[in-house]
Structure 1
């Protein structure tokens, strides 16, 4: 490739650090150029030529984006390999370049980082949620191999957020929501505070623009008063610290970021003028011992606020953040937050995991490989474990979001080891965090030496002792109070193993009823079925059937993926022997699609026995195609079509009854394509159960006309739905899926008499 000799001819603005690299490489001096600089220059030149004819939505040359990403990684102290990956992170997706070519030019490390960051190819997933879940499953696998992957991804997302104003509003909101829910918490988990705060504020700008402008204007209005007040506090603390020989490296006051202020307003239900501690003073000292001495100085100078002191040095956050936080009453009688830390703690707070390669004792940037095996990444190991445990895309995404948000409680083992858990965790969550077998054989718990029930909510500082027994085993009732996905998945795993044969049999029955007996056994052993099992994250077909029987994977999802697998294989099969799945005996049902009737469809009738007569579907029992029906002659509305056994027909005389039946040939081609059915579902009252039910109905392509929920404290909740059904089989499938949900107690159809 022809090297770029000068930077003056480039049609993009490049930073001085990159200019220096390019100048050093193109210089005719005989001095050798360091390999790191050569790698950075080569990566830029390669990316520049590949993206030369591409432009961003803003109209600027596309190369400006990789340059900005590489700059962010350089600011974090990233190695030349990371910076090169920043330049090249889009070339595999946006150009004809292959990963193999990247490896041949830049080495295996750059290739692995670029492959890890490259956006996924477009798969034909059945829902947006599933596509997003698959995206993140793969991203976490890449992170487990090399944590630098997500750092490059975060830099990419941060620059995209900075330039989001050039996209359409719908896309702005979608990207901003994903950034707030996933990428900002990821930056927080990695401890990269400077990325986390900016990602949150930029998301806030696009998701709540009115509140963003309001908070921004209010912060700006009070800026001068706030700066004067903080200056006086800083001067006072600097003088007092010097008097007791505490060497302060830096003392400064700063406003909290806008989204943090907004969150506090929402959480405390207060207006901006009622939030006084919108600014904080940060003290950076030399040693850990000086942190606590500085704390004494602060508490001597200002009155501490009870309950507002947090020692993150003694108990670091899961992202390794360390600092002393204390709330005090400031000079004007307003609350003020003071943070005290060492310079090393400050670097970790700002750069997180990147601090390990940005700052070394030698002062030279270097890189140590961090993977999911490191203790500091237990949260990442959990995400990887859930990949196999949680098949449902919606449940997996919720678990990811819950685990990423930093809202932990800290409890102790009897030996004094600290165990971080999600807020609201119980002894059962604690037991499964210690070990799966401890959870599976948990029989009781002592908290702070006192016997307690297993659904007790743990508090900071609790000492938890789990009592185990060989004869004890998990109870499905535990699912009603555990909060960590690890505990939930382990309980379900035990249940599935202990009832495996029953679940496999139920799964076979459901699938056989859907596809038919003819050729069914051959289909189970076929290559497409094994492909479906792997795509659903199961090792084999039997595991897939068990998941279907247990309700972990929906019948509609399985059938859709089987149809895709068969369709993908059909060209090859037809070339060999002109055959297909249908010729082997089994046939796959098609996804329900609303058809537009032809000009002759109005002459067709889905019901035999009422040809040419005025008739209607009875609203009391709402019959659907496939179930026995009966006609009743009415005085004004012709013949009313009821389900056989409808409670409203008990007093109808025999001379008003007309024999009718569904005309299967014409049902699909006549309107209405769907029929309303009213159902009642009795469930355990927990957050999210209604959404889970709606998700199952959505998988069956079932529309919900209206819904009503009735709850009574301490009792199961009742959910009343009116859904659109195209045929009896679809109704039965949906009932089976909902019945298999862990929190569903019963489900039944309703008639007017029942309501």
Structure 2
């Protein structure tokens, strides 16, 4: 026989009074949880059933349907007892079973890490709520009661649960418009994470509440009432005026954001005027502005432009008597009910009715479909972006309202509409004016995107967009494009190499795909990216056939180049090496192997950052001219440049360019770009130059 304490008894009484037509089912569920949770207790020492009963009571208080209330009572039985979802379905029906299943964690499965399990639990919850939004409403009630009883948890768990609450659950409550739960979750988060600030603000509110109430009653509200009654005369509307007070967390955010002290807050006072219809809202607004001076920039019309969570109201701030700022909200009774209870205020779920979600919650499915990560932190960030509270409302050319996070650009807008629109976005027209793609959207903007099939994403676009969706789509395109280019480059490289090795291209591809266990596209991409160095390919085929132009000399990782004029090889323009220099090759997408001098800074960078693309080279002299750079430092005097030039000529070296500068110490810095056949000729010229009177140094210039 179950025994009820006064708190549980009161909760159950309130629930049964509200759902009298379903009293039998609710009583059955209560008996069920007392049986299933028998001998289980919470951290506080209370019987465990106090928790599901409290959750059901919260759901009842915001007007959820009885299926949700029953699921709230049963939400832990599958996870914490031997109860199965099938048993719930037999006893309480398919709807309740589906809700309980969506609420049940998946910790019973094995995951590679705690982070993966955490991410999967979030994902399951989001997926369930995208099918039936009641799942998350029940979860919010569950989280609210857990936050109310967080005192009994260890400090590290308090912080962990509080952070999860502010990151995930409070924003979801906001997005669903359940203000009462959102406000309490945020305040409880602050209580456990910043207890000193919480108590300080709480005390401040308590101290000024009485004084504020006196001010509003004595100086402000009477003027409002007099003006309204005077305007309507005999046809007085049915209206209510309430005091409105900011909650603790919102005050904490404001003083931090604006670097204020509590005493500096001027808009702590507020009233709410609730009327019958929309027309009266605007009439009352005009009356308020006629008797009190409006504060510039403080007016927001959320009636004509509702928030995504369906919140509607007029917001304004005015200077009241004694120059005190008072915030005023004006809304209808229906809007007020919706503002406090969100989705539950106009619940569509009734017995035997469809359980299809309203289209306004299509964003839930977008969240689920866009989240692929197994990292819990990344998943949270993705969800937080989808649940943004700072929003802008813009219009399409067809007057559809699009909601984006504050700071979004027209390029974000394009990707929001469709990936193809974003990828081919060439320009944008906002309010009939052409704007750059980096234009930051403002609420009320009307946006038209002009596309061009030849346009495609650029890496610079990642600096323009702010939303995760746009960034992800751009990165995916760039990655695919990079691979496409690598495939093309890799195919060209192997085709040229097959010609030089006198090997059939088809045979080469067949052998390489088999050797590296790759398909053709993967092979070409790996060669294009330099993941399969050319010297590995050459060594592989050198075992089968003597090469005509490129052959393996048996040196580990070393290539002997016998014909540099071949398109597969080129000489680096940065360091201009010549045969006989100590050199290495760097595999390039467009130039095959690029030969660098070992002292070249660019080669040193490649060795540090892309060592897989660096190969050893054995480069023999060819009967041709090579270009390189030389610097000569000498004491300046008439004829010195002519003598150095003659020294080059004696060694059969052509001068292509020459420049000279003399510093304050009378040292001439002479730079030459020359053409030379052999390293022997170059060394001979150096000896000649060093013998010239006044020459201090002669050296090569690399990079």
**Short-chain TM bin:** 0.5 to 0.7
Equivalent in 396, 403, 420 of residue 420 of structure 1: 403
Query: Residues 604-644 of structure 1, C-alpha deviation per residue, up to 9 Å, x if partnerless?
Result: xxxxxxxxxxxxxxxxxxxxxxxxxxxxxxxxxxxxxxxxx
Taking the TM superposition and a 5 Å limit, the aligned residue runs for 1:24-173 are 36-121=22-107, 125=111, 128-173=114-159
Q: Offset of 1:242 from its aligned partner?
A: 2.2
Q: Offset of 1:280 from its aligned partner?
A: 1.4
Residue 255 of structure 1 aligns to a residue whose secondary structure is: coil
Q: 1:12·1:63 contact (CA, 8 Å) conserved in 2?
A: no
Equivalent in 385, 409, 412 of residue 429 of structure 1: 412
Aligned alpha-carbon RMSD (Å): 3.7
Residue 257 of structure 2 aligns to a residue whose secondary structure is: helix
Partner of residue 440, structure 2:
457
Equivalent in 223, 244, 263 of residue 231 of structure 2: 244
Q: Distance in 1 between matches of 2:481 and 2:344?
A: 45
Partner of residue 622, structure 1:
none
Query: Residues 444-500 of structure 1, C-alpha deviation per residue, up to 9 Å, x if partnerless?
Result: 112222222211211222222211111112223212221122222222333344456
Q: Which runs of 5+ in 2 are unaligned?
A: 490-512, 528-597, 601-607, 611-703
Partner of residue 381, structure 1:
365
Taking the TM superposition and a 5 Å limit, the aligned residue runs for 1:142-221 are 142-221=128-207
Partner of residue 474, structure 1:
457
Q: Distance in 2 between matches of 1:416 and 1:470?
A: 25
1:223 counterpart = 2:217: no
Query: Residues 557-608 of structure 1, C-alpha deviation per residue, up to 9 Å, x if partnerless?
Result: xxxxxxxxxxxxxxxxxxxxxxxxxxxxxxxxxxxxxxxxxxxxxxxxxxxx
Equivalent in 8, 12, 24 of residue 14 of structure 1: 8
**Higher Cα radius of gyration:** 2
Q: Distance in 2 between matches of 1:395 and 1:542?
A: 34
Q: Distance in 2 between matches of 1:226 and 1:680?
A: 66
Q: Which runs of 5+ in 1 are unaligned?
A: 25-32, 507-519, 526-540, 550-644, 648-678, 682-755
**Change over 3 Å in CA distance of 1:17–1:66 after alignment to 2:** closer
**Change over 3 Å in CA distance of 1:22–1:200 after alignment to 2:** closer
Q: Offset of 1:680 from its aligned partner?
A: 9.6
Residue 256 of structure 1 aligns to a residue whose secondary structure is: coil
Taking the TM superposition and a 5 Å limit, the aligned residue runs for 1:179-578 are 179-232=165-218, 233-245=220-232, 247-357=237-347, 374-388=358-372, 393-498=376-481
TM-score using structure 1 length: 0.62
Q: Distance in 1 between matches of 2:293 and 2:431?
A: 32
Q: 1:143·1:371 contact (CA, 8 Å) conserved in 2?
A: no
Q: Distance in 1 between matches of 2:173 and 2:362?
A: 15
Q: Distance in 2 between matches of 1:376 and 1:55?
A: 40
Q: Distance in 2 between matches of 1:283 and 1:173?
A: 38
Q: Distance in 1 between matches of 2:161 and 2:472?
A: 30
TM-score using structure 2 length: 0.66
**Change over 3 Å in CA distance of 1:21–1:199 after alignment to 2:** closer
Q: 1:11·1:61 contact (CA, 8 Å) conserved in 2?
A: no
Q: Distance in 1 between matches of 2:520 and 2:231?
A: 72
Q: 2:173·2:181 contact (CA, 8 Å) conserved in 1?
A: yes
Q: Distance in 2 between matches of 1:89 and 1:393?
A: 23
Q: 1:310·1:324 contact (CA, 8 Å) conserved in 2?
A: yes
Q: Offset of 1:54 from its aligned partner?
A: 0.5
Q: 2:168·2:380 contact (CA, 8 Å) conserved in 1?
A: no
Partner of residue 531, structure 1:
none
**Change over 3 Å in CA distance of 1:501–1:413 after alignment to 2:** closer
Aligned residues: 507
**Change over 3 Å in CA distance of 1:542–1:308 after alignment to 2:** farther
